[in-house]
Amino acid sequence: MKYPIGIQSFDQIINGGYVYVDKTDLVYSLVTEGKIYFLGRPR
């Protein structure tokens, strides 16, 4: 399993065999539920 560290191109991620996690459904449910969410991210 290869992680796309430092890869900026979506084409390289998909065609290079890197791990890609599609969270589109999760984002859609967050937006449509209409609640307030805190999306923290590591620095």
Backbone angles phi, psi at 16, to 5 degrees: -90, 0
Q: What angle do CA 12, 9, 25 make, to 5 degrees?
A: 95
Give the confidence band of 9 by pLDDT, cuts at 50, 70, 90.
very high
Q: Are 7 and 18 in contact (CB under 8 A)?
A: yes
Give the confidence band of 30 by pLDDT, cuts at 50, 70, 90.
confident
Can you give the residue range of the structural domain that contains 17?
1-43
The total number of structural domains in the chain stands at 1
Is the per-residue pLDDT at 43 higher than 80? no
**Cα–Cα distance between 7 and 18 in angstroms, integer?**
9
Give the confidence band of 27 by pLDDT, cuts at 50, 70, 90.
confident
Rg (CA), the chain: 14
